[in-house]
A and B are shown apart, each in its own frame.
Chain A
Amino acid sequence: MASKKTGTPPSGPAGPSRKGMTGAQIFHEMLLDEGVERVFGIIGGAVLPIFDVLYASPIPFVLSRHEQGAAHMADGYARSTGKVGVCIATSGPGATNLATGLATAHMDSVPMVAFTGQVKSFMIGNDAFQEADTTGVTRPITKHNCIVKRIEDLGRTIKEAFHIARTGRPGPVLVDLPVDVTVNECPVEPDVEPKLPGYKPQLKGHMRQIKTAAEAINAAERPVLYVGGGVIVAGASEHLRAIAEKGNIPVTTTLLGMGAVDENSPLALKMLGMHGTAWANYAVQDTDCLIAVGARFDDRVTGRLDTFAPNARVIHIDVDPASISKNVDVDVPVVGDAADILPRMLEFIEPKDRSAWLARIDEWRKKYPLRYDTDGHIKPQEVVDLLGQMTDHDAIVATGVGQHQMWAAQFYGWRRPRQIITSGGLGTMGFGAPAAIGAQFGNPDKTVIDIDGDGSFSMTMVEVLTAVRYQQPVKFIVLDNDYLGMVRQWQELFYGRRYSAVEHPCPDWAAVAEGFGATGLRVSERSELGDALKQTLETDGPVVLHVHVDPDENVYPMVAVGKGLHEMDLGKLA
């Protein structure tokens, strides 16, 4: 972007002067400064000046079909790449449509910056056309938000937004931009130095706490590492593996922590919690030292709190001090970035033979393995299992929310960080399809699969159009059981099989996909499943595979609400 040469020397080290630029031009300059590679969103009246600048921009724009889709695409892009996802929506309904996507990213600590248009600053509060109190609506579902009312503050505010989004415990930041701020010219050189006196994330762990934690681990006979998404966010998976291997410490992960350890490792226990593996849950209930890293003791993980890990000293490593001792009282808190703390802790971890403990866990593993029947209907677990094998456990997999999400978590076989893209905290149905598209944009050379349920897919499948338009070869695998399956499972187990409002008839998704311009495939016979998956993976471009699965299959193990992890219902696995 060429700036007007006025004859006066540039005022700072930042390069050519930005004095006299419009707000939209400053906005664009800041995006270039931040290295933004792609923006998702939908145009509208209040963001026209911004799009006028994007028209000639080197930053490509992806027009989604719904703002929720744009937000989930930015989210999927961010989770799969570690970079900040960026989305734009217009004022009023555009902004409120972003809300679900912001709340999803907020609960799962995903770095995102959302820009929304706003009515002219002097009209705010007059109930103007497409006016909504966007900062008011999104305040509790963002890490930070603000409205820019003076063009002089625009550059700095955008700089701050990216900084806040990606540092500390990451999260979404929303910047609301009144039309006049983007239209007007900045009369002075815009200030771009962040000014955040109240924002100082604590990244460096306290040495004494690190030593105390290491001593507690060294003294433990039966330690377990309980690892959440924070380890992946911090890029600390390798450090975690080093600690686990040095101390012979088994590792269980939360849904968002999957891939922090390679599940091929003998130390990997897979997922814990409500639908965790029996051996992970029994190990947590039996451990004498639970080492939580980048996890937050969510109720889906702990089950009944007063029976959770009853014999354990609890160590909690987390960058967010507010996560510590929120749900579970912690014996050794260590506040800081896992990438700082884990390598420093490694030095103090003593190599220790824990083969008796590992053998005990192995017994549980052999006694209660994850398994499924292979007769009659196609079992959803087998679909995931085969997909894992056929993609060498190396694809990026997004999911919706529900039974299929849990089967994906249990059966895919996670190998590396940033591989599973799933809404854990908020549990946002409809997340899978757009998040997979966002992940594909960020990872053009990877196979990206959306393992979806018919309920979740129905909510946002319009974004298959976006995949078609921008030639993103996502494979959408829809596990259709004619129900909102997880709810049906709860009704079966806890509501006397009164199947209220849960039947979910679907159209021929393959035909819909063809109508959208994607390839549509369908399979309902188990004997044809392997071929259908192979064809799906080998077909160029976006493919929707409609899989008719057993409508009555339940997810096991299951820890009922109010029960301890050791009281899990093993169902068919027992």
Chain B
Amino acid sequence: MRHVISALVRNKPGVLAHIAGMFAARGFNIDSLVVGRTEDAELSRMTIVAAGDEKVLEQIRKQLGKIIDVVKIRDFAEVDYVERDLMLCRVHAPPEKRSEVVDIVNLFRGRVVDVARNSLLVELSGPEQKVEAFVDLIRPYGIRELARTGVIAMPRGAQAQRRAAERQTTE
């Protein structure tokens, strides 16, 4: 099973190494891991995509929770959420193939951000599955280079508000 887990961590040196090291030491697999700043300068958000059965994912959540500099963990498995993965891809596109490639890019609401004689640089964002579907379609044309950010995620509004309300009632 694929889970998107978000960890709010203290913005200190060594925290990324600690989390990556914990995954390696305990034999958990990371599909992607993204670190970025948040609205709070003292906190960063890590979004981790990990695969495993429920037992493994439970251990991942608990072991993350044990790390002192991890402030909060959220597994998006139980909530409705929005995820985005950003990709840059240089596709082999000689003049005779260029319009075909551009068609596919447009169908996926991607953007061509650079054009060279025999290639196009494409930017595309969306849920991981959408990005992967695009990559599958474009592969036959020849992928010269590909870079992806990995997934970031956030729960949808209504749920976030309900959760905040629940938190208030329990406190």
Give chain A's interface residues, CB within 8 Å of chain B.
135-136, 139-140, 143-144, 146-147, 164, 196-199, 320-322, 325-326
Q: List 8 A-B contacts (CB under 8 A).
A: A139-B14, A140-B25, A198-B10, A198-B68, A198-B70, A198-B72, A320-B66, A322-B63
Q: Given A322-B63, A325-B58, A326-B59, is A139 in contact with B71 using a C-beta cutoff of 8 Å?
A: no
Is the Cβ of B21 less than 8 Å from the Cβ of A140?
yes
With both beta carbons as reference points, the residue of chain B lying nearest to A324 in the complex is identified as: B62
With both beta carbons as reference points, the residue of chain B lying nearest to A197 in the complex is identified as: B71
Is the Cβ of B62 less than 8 Å from the Cβ of A321?
yes
Residues of chain B in range 49-102 having any CB-CB distance to chain A below 8 Å: 55, 58-59, 62-63, 65-72
8 Å CB contact of A198 from B55, B58, B67 = B67
Complex: A139 Cα to B18 Cα, angstroms: 7
B135 contacts A by Cβ under 8 Å: no
Please, which residues of chain A bring their CB within 8 A of the CB of B70?
198
Is the Cβ of A164 less than 8 Å from the Cβ of B17?
no
User: What is the CB-to-nearest-CB distance from A141 to chain B, in angstroms, rounded to a whole number?
Assistant: 10
Is the Cβ of B59 less than 8 Å from the Cβ of A322?
yes
Please, which residues of chain A bring their CB within 8 A of the CB of B18?
139
Is the Cβ of A139 less than 8 Å from the Cβ of B21?
yes
User: What is the CB-to-nearest-CB distance from B12 to chain A, in angstroms, rounded to a whole number?
Assistant: 8
Is the Cβ of A146 less than 8 Å from the Cβ of B14?
yes
B131 contacts A by Cβ under 8 Å: no
Is the Cβ of A322 less than 8 Å from the Cβ of B65?
yes
Complex: A147 Cα to B9 Cα, angstroms: 17
Complex: A321 Cα to B73 Cα, angstroms: 14
Please, which residues of chain A bring their CB within 8 A of the CB of B65?
321-322
With both beta carbons as reference points, the residue of chain A lying nearest to B63 in the complex is identified as: A322
Please, which residues of chain B bring their CB within 8 A of the CB of A199?
68
Complex: A175 Cα to B71 Cα, angstroms: 20
8 Å CB contact of B69 from A198, A321, A326 = A198
8 Å CB contact of B55 from A135, A139, A320, A325 = A325
8 Å CB contact of A197 from B10, B14, B22 = B10
Please, which residues of chain B bring their CB within 8 A of the CB of A146?
12, 14
Please, which residues of chain B bring their CB within 8 A of the CB of A322?
59, 62-63, 65-66
User: What is the CB-to-nearest-CB distance from B37 to chain A, in angstroms, rounded to a whole number?
Assistant: 17
Complex: A503 Cα to B65 Cα, angstroms: 46
Instruction: Given contact pairs A143-B68, A147-B14, enumerate 15 new A-B contacts (beta carbons under 8 Å).
Output: A135-B14, A136-B17, A139-B18, A146-B12, A198-B9, A320-B66, A321-B62, A321-B65, A322-B59, A322-B62, A322-B65, A322-B66, A325-B55, A325-B58, A326-B59
User: What is the CB-to-nearest-CB distance from A139 to chain B, in angstroms, rounded to a whole number?
Assistant: 6
Q: How large is the interface on B (under 10, 10 to 19, 20 to 34, 35 or more residues)?
A: 20 to 34
Complex: A321 Cα to B63 Cα, angstroms: 9
With both beta carbons as reference points, the residue of chain A lying nearest to B24 in the complex is identified as: A140
Please provide the 7 A-B residue pairs with the shortest distance between their CB atoms, ordered closest to farther: A322-B62, A198-B71, A144-B68, A197-B71, A199-B68, A198-B70, A140-B25
Complex: A140 Cα to B70 Cα, angstroms: 15
Please, which residues of chain B bring their CB within 8 A of the CB of A196?
68
Please, which residues of chain B bring their CB within 8 A of the CB of A321?
62, 65
With both beta carbons as reference points, the residue of chain A lying nearest to B55 in the complex is identified as: A325
Complex: A147 Cα to B69 Cα, angstroms: 13
Complex: A401 Cα to B70 Cα, angstroms: 35
Is the Cβ of A164 less than 8 Å from the Cβ of B68?
yes
User: What is the CB-to-nearest-CB distance from B39 to chain A, in angstroms, rounded to a whole number?
Assistant: 15
Please, which residues of chain B bring their CB within 8 A of the CB of A325?
55, 58
Please, which residues of chain B bring their CB within 8 A of the CB of A198?
9-10, 67-72
User: What is the CB-to-nearest-CB distance from B44 to chain A, in angstroms, rounded to a whole number?
Assistant: 12
Complex: A143 Cα to B65 Cα, angstroms: 12
User: What is the CB-to-nearest-CB distance from B127 to chain A, in angstroms, rounded to a whole number?
Assistant: 29
Of the listed residues B12, B62, B66, B72, the one surrounded by the most CB atoms of chain A closer than 10 A to its CB is B66
Please, which residues of chain A bring their CB within 8 A of the CB of B22?
140
Complex: A325 Cα to B56 Cα, angstroms: 10
Please, which residues of chain B bring their CB within 8 A of the CB of A320?
66
With both beta carbons as reference points, the residue of chain B lying nearest to A201 in the complex is identified as: B66
Residues of chain B in range 2-36 having any CB-CB distance to chain A below 8 Å: 9-10, 12-14, 17-18, 21-22, 25
With both beta carbons as reference points, the residue of chain B lying nearest to A136 in the complex is identified as: B17
Please, which residues of chain A bring their CB within 8 A of the CB of B21?
139-140
Please, which residues of chain A bring their CB within 8 A of the CB of B71?
197-198
Please, which residues of chain A bring their CB within 8 A of the CB of B12?
146
User: What is the CB-to-nearest-CB distance from B27 to chain A, in angstroms, rounded to a whole number?
Assistant: 13
Complex: A198 Cα to B68 Cα, angstroms: 6
Please, which residues of chain A bring their CB within 8 A of the CB of B66?
320, 322
Complex: A197 Cα to B10 Cα, angstroms: 9
Is the Cβ of A139 less than 8 Å from the Cβ of B17?
yes
User: What is the CB-to-nearest-CB distance from B53 to chain A, in angstroms, rounded to a whole number?
Assistant: 12
With both beta carbons as reference points, the residue of chain A lying nearest to B10 in the complex is identified as: A198
With both beta carbons as reference points, the residue of chain A lying nearest to B68 in the complex is identified as: A144
Complex: A325 Cα to B59 Cα, angstroms: 9
Complex: A303 Cα to B39 Cα, angstroms: 49
Please, which residues of chain A bring their CB within 8 A of the CB of B62?
321-322
Complex: A140 Cα to B13 Cα, angstroms: 15
Complex: A135 Cα to B22 Cα, angstroms: 14
Please, which residues of chain B bring their CB within 8 A of the CB of A144?
68
User: What is the CB-to-nearest-CB distance from A153 to chain B, in angstroms, rounded to a whole number?
Assistant: 10
User: What is the CB-to-nearest-CB distance from B60 to chain A, in angstroms, rounded to a whole number?
Assistant: 10
Complex: A135 Cα to B70 Cα, angstroms: 17
User: What is the CB-to-nearest-CB distance from A3 to chain B, in angstroms, rounded to a whole number?
Assistant: 30
Complex: A283 Cα to B36 Cα, angstroms: 53
Please, which residues of chain B bring their CB within 8 A of the CB of A147?
13-14
Complex: A271 Cα to B134 Cα, angstroms: 60
Complex: A144 Cα to B22 Cα, angstroms: 12
Complex: A196 Cα to B58 Cα, angstroms: 23
Residues of chain B in range 115-140 having any CB-CB distance to chain A below 8 Å: none
Complex: A325 Cα to B54 Cα, angstroms: 11
With both beta carbons as reference points, the residue of chain B lying nearest to A198 in the complex is identified as: B71
User: What is the CB-to-nearest-CB distance from B9 to chain A, in angstroms, rounded to a whole number?
Assistant: 8
User: What is the CB-to-nearest-CB distance from B85 to chain A, in angstroms, rounded to a whole number?
Assistant: 27
Complex: A198 Cα to B25 Cα, angstroms: 21
Complex: A326 Cα to B167 Cα, angstroms: 28
User: What is the CB-to-nearest-CB distance from B55 to chain A, in angstroms, rounded to a whole number?
Assistant: 7
User: What is the CB-to-nearest-CB distance from B2 to chain A, in angstroms, rounded to a whole number?
Assistant: 21
Of the listed residues A136, A140, A143, A322, the one surrounded by the most CB atoms of chain B closer than 10 A to its CB is A322
With both beta carbons as reference points, the residue of chain A lying nearest to B70 in the complex is identified as: A198
With both beta carbons as reference points, the residue of chain B lying nearest to A141 in the complex is identified as: B25
User: What is the CB-to-nearest-CB distance from B170 to chain A, in angstroms, rounded to a whole number?
Assistant: 13
